[in-house]
Structure 1
Amino acid sequence: MRKDEQLQILKDLIKINTENGNELETAEYIGGLFKLHHVPYRIDRFDGNRANLVAEVGLKETDEVLGITGHQDTVNVSDQRAWTHEPFAAEVVGDKLYGRGAADMKSGLAAQIITLIELHEQRAVKGTLRFIATAGEEYGTPGANRLLKQGVVDDLSALLVGEATDGQIVYAHSGSLNYRIKSYGQSAHSARPTQGINAISGLLQFAAAEATLFQQAPLDSILGAVKHSITVIGGGEQVNTIPDYAELSGNVRPTQSFDNQQVIALIQTAISQINQQTDYHLEFDLIHSFRPVETTPDNPFVRLVQQAAVDAFVDRDVALEITNGATDASVFIKGNPTMPVVILGPDEKVVSHQVDEYTTLSGFYQVIAAYEDVAVSYFKTGSRTKQLAADVVSPQIRPARQAG
């Protein structure tokens, strides 16, 4: 496939508006490409215009199945007037391609699509290469959860996630837990506050406790400390009335050393203590819970992907990293807890979700080369991955990146 054809696929994907949904149009576009190139695929449509897509190629000369995955949805454009490059025009300026999803993650998705097509035409995959395009990764992971129930990841030997990493190798990421605290009080006139119970004050009690709540959580040897934040708060209807209801939402980033269930138990304990010791009544609601994902940096699959990235991204140093963000892998490991997971993607992670989001064309072409190298090398004899594990003996490991 020529570079201009590869670029056109990326442009076409960006021109499809998939803000928090509407993945069906993207899935049908991808399906059309696969049909043209005789790649077997299926579309999993649900909830109107939501859709996953699964495709696979390979000669099946081994039992191993390598998964590559990316999500089709993007976050909202928000205020389009703030953009200097139209978010769905896929405008190219020099080495940059602008548009919503350019970095997160239609460039990685396009690179995976191209990898599948090109390796299928070359008959270069000795085992099975399975492409998994999901719906709703940005909020709630409904697509990944459907595919989990369908057993799509049960037989994977390893999984490569295509989120933007600037060509770096991410071998571990924290989980993500979203919760809501509801506070119930009793309304009264603000001139007689003692006749009521201020629901906002109940939330303030929790907020004060939350500030130090996770100090007891142990440091994880890979992911470090549990990150936690209160991110949304609201309550009250008018200025001269004691509010009888208020709520807040928060986010916690669990680790393997202090996992999702331990986070939930700690929050619930804090709420119980407030309820028992005060007149406030707080309730806990779990919104989303995504597990942390960790693969050891010396895992042969990590080393294989690292070597492919080193060979492809010749304009930069390639290091091993961790991130505090979460991916669909948090869902998929529920069905396959032992599979190694690595994240490798193109540029520019730092502008994901931002105005004038962009990726670089050079990084896009480089990650295609890296993906194809991984997919071909993975199915070579076992000595290949063992040799890589021996050769790459001193990985450069960087601290965690901040992620959404």
Structure 2
Amino acid sequence: MIDPVKLAQELVRIDTSGGGEERAARLCGDLLQRAGAEVEVVPAGPGRAHVLAAVGNVASRPLILSGHLDTVSADPDCWQNNPWSGDLVDGELYGRGAADMKGGVAALVAALARQARAWKHERGVLLVLTADEEAGCAGAKHLVRSRKLPAGGPMLVAEPTRLSIALGHKGALWLRATARGRSAHGSAPHLGKNAITALARFVLALEEGGLATTRSRSGGVTVNVGRFNGGTRINLVPDHASAEIDLRTPAGLDSSALLEDISALAGPEDIELEVLQDLASVQTAPGGPFYATFSFLVREVMGEASVREPLAYFTDAAVLSPALNSSEVLIFGPGDPGQAHTVDESCPVDHIETATLVFEMLLQSWREQGQGELL
């Protein structure tokens, strides 16, 4: 029987920051294949790969389990210990990806491996582990383009939620804004047009123009200027400046309408806008059959089922859910979302063990119940 904590340690010890997922993919794929699953390791570039693992009949709206194998980078000089140590200290698994989301991947793999041999011809389960999720779900997009995936049933994403059930997540609109000015000598700025100040006015207008306070049930639009570049010399009026802006959008907000509002703010400053990423929000109603079953199982294991509104961060469900036409999407996994991408990232060991048990019970319920009872 696979120990999910030991598997999580092994996964953390594989550096998959911006690449290298193939080793992790083959580790998970080999374990699942030996357990009886049908496994395909899908190449996704040099050193990169996805995993598709199926049990049962996946031709008819299988349960979709979703996770990603990559992590963001880590600077060893800033960490107390090696970011890829996978050490266990005081009940916590430490290392890059412990929370986001190798603990969740380990729980999914262990649960499916434990249940795989019990499957015969019952309705199926498809586990999808992607490479390159951190770059705007690029890996999921590659997988959807390169493989014909079956129409899916409900989807469970094992991203960190502190073992709360999240009813989806916000969308993401990433923009590059470019201002073009006119050069002049720094001693005569009135003869030029300063691209940096024009872009700065636009950014401030964007933050203060109502977008960040647009409210909905799942929160408002948030604005983060992640990059800002411009100018070449201190004594030269800059004729070029650019900024990259990350907007997170609540469910129900049309990104095209939002882009129109942003363009209206950009117009007076003659700012050019380029869409770098447009990921849809994901939202599931709490009254659905999958939610009812899953929340019941969580209560059986944990005594209560904590439910939270859609998350601020996005997941592969933004790409996979529409591609597979999944009926409901829930997010539930070990680890604190606040630990993701942090120095000395960690995940509670008991979270990984609890998540594995919940996932096992879900798989057993999915296999044993009739189609109409859970879907």
Deviations for 1:115-168, whole angstroms, at most 9, x for unmatched residues?
Answer: 221111233883111000001111132210022224655510111001011110
2:258 is matched by which residue type in structure 1?
V
1:332 is matched by which residue type in structure 2?
L
CA contact (8 A) 1:167 1:345 kept: yes
> Following the alignment from structure 2 to structure 1, what is the Cα–Cα distance between the partners of residues 288 and 149?
20
> Following the alignment from structure 1 to structure 2, what is the Cα–Cα distance between the partners of residues 354 and 92?
17
Residue 323 (structure 2) pairs with residue 335 (structure 1): yes
The one of 106, 120, 145 aligned to 2:102: 106
The one of 58, 68, 71 aligned to 2:68: 71
The one of 21, 34, 37 aligned to 2:35: 37
Question: Match of 1:356?
Answer: 344
Identity within the alignment, %: 26
Greater relative contact order, per chain length (Cα 8 Å cut-off, separation 6+): 2
Question: How far off its partner does 1:305 sit?
Answer: 1.6
> Following the alignment from structure 2 to structure 1, what is the Cα–Cα distance between the partners of residues 296 and 121?
18
> Following the alignment from structure 1 to structure 2, what is the Cα–Cα distance between the partners of residues 258 and 240?
44
> Following the alignment from structure 2 to structure 1, what is the Cα–Cα distance between the partners of residues 138 and 291?
28
Residue 364 (structure 2) pairs with residue 366 (structure 1): no
The one of 141, 162, 167 aligned to 2:158: 162
Residue 291 (structure 2) pairs with residue 302 (structure 1): yes
Deviations for 1:61-110, whole angstroms, at most 9, x for unmatched residues?
Answer: 993410001000001113x1222232111111131111110110001001
Partner of 1:334, secondary structure, is helix
When structure 1 is superposed on structure 2, of 174-183 and 300-309 the one drifting more is: 300-309
Question: Match of 1:287?
Answer: 276
The one of 118, 125, 128 aligned to 1:129: 125
1:110 is matched by which residue type in structure 2?
A
2:86 is matched by which residue type in structure 1?
A
Question: How far off its partner does 1:57 sit?
Answer: 0.6
> Following the alignment from structure 1 to structure 2, what is the Cα–Cα distance between the partners of residues 114 and 243?
56
Partner of 2:93, secondary structure, is strand
Change (3 A) 1:217 1:335: farther
Question: Match of 1:56?
Answer: 54
The one of 299, 312, 322 aligned to 2:301: 312
Question: How far off its partner does 1:30 sit?
Answer: 1.6
CA contact (8 A) 2:169 2:310 kept: yes
CA contact (8 A) 1:217 1:258 kept: no
TM-score if structure 2 supplies the norm length?
0.93
The one of 219, 225, 230 aligned to 1:230: 225
Deviations for 1:336-377, whole angstroms, at most 9, x for unmatched residues?
Answer: 455210001012322111111111111111101111111222
2:4 is matched by which residue type in structure 1?
Q
Question: Match of 1:278?
Answer: none
Partner of 2:107, secondary structure, is helix
When structure 1 is superposed on structure 2, of 224-233 and 369-378 the one drifting more is: 224-233
* Structure 1 vs Structure 2 CA RMSD: 2.2
Question: How far off its partner does 1:34 sit?
Answer: 2.5
CA contact (8 A) 2:155 2:326 kept: no
CA contact (8 A) 1:312 1:367 kept: no
> Following the alignment from structure 1 to structure 2, what is the Cα–Cα distance between the partners of residues 62 and 27?
23
2:370 is matched by which residue type in structure 1?
T
Partner of 1:253, secondary structure, is strand
Deviations for 1:267-294, whole angstroms, at most 9, x for unmatched residues?
Answer: 223222332xxxxxx2111111111000
> Following the alignment from structure 2 to structure 1, what is the Cα–Cα distance between the partners of residues 34 and 214?
53
Question: How far off its partner does 1:199 sit?
Answer: 0.7
> Following the alignment from structure 2 to structure 1, what is the Cα–Cα distance between the partners of residues 28 and 240?
47
CA contact (8 A) 1:172 1:223 kept: no
CA contact (8 A) 1:124 1:376 kept: no
Partner of 1:113, secondary structure, is helix
Matches within 5 A, 1:368-387: 368-379=356-367, 380-382=369-371, 384-385=373-374
Question: Match of 2:92?
Answer: 96
1:371 is matched by which residue type in structure 2?
F
Unaligned runs of 5+ in 1: 276-281, 387-404
Change (3 A) 1:36 1:266: same
The one of 226, 236, 239 aligned to 1:241: 236
Question: How far off its partner does 1:313 sit?
Answer: 2.7
CA contact (8 A) 1:167 1:313 kept: no
Question: How far off its partner does 1:218 sit?
Answer: 5.5
Partner of 2:168, secondary structure, is strand
